[in-house]
Amino acid sequence: MRAYAFVLAAALAAAACGGGDAASRLPDVRLPTLGGPLGPSLAACVTEKCLTVVVAPWCGICHQVTPDIVRLRRFLDKAGVATRVVVGLDDLEPIKGMAALFGSDTLLDPEGAVTARGVPLFIVTNRAGDVVKRVSGFPRGISSSEELASFFGLP
Give the domain ranges of the chain. 25-151
Nearest to 82 by CA among 104, 53, 113, 109: 53
Give me the CATH topology for the region 25-151: Glutaredoxin (3.40.30)
Between CA 32 and CA 75, with CA 41 as vertex, the angle to 5 degrees is 85
3 state SS of 125: strand
The continuous run of DSSP H or E covering 131 comes out as: strand 131-136
Q: What is the pLDDT of residue 117?
A: 86
Query: What is the per-residue pLDDT across 16-37, written as a single tens digit (0 to 9) for each?
Result: 333 333 458 899 999 999 999 9
Roughly how many angstroms between the first and final C-alpha of the chain, as a whole number?
48
Q: What is the pLDDT of residue 60?
A: 96
Q: How confident is the model at residue 53 (pLDDT cuts 50, 70, 90)?
A: very high
Q: How far apart are alpha carbons 64 and 138 in whole angstroms?
A: 10
Section 51-71 average pLDDT: 97
Checking if the pLDDT of 9 tops 90, the result is no
Counting residues of the chain whose pLDDT is more than 90, the rounded percentage is 79
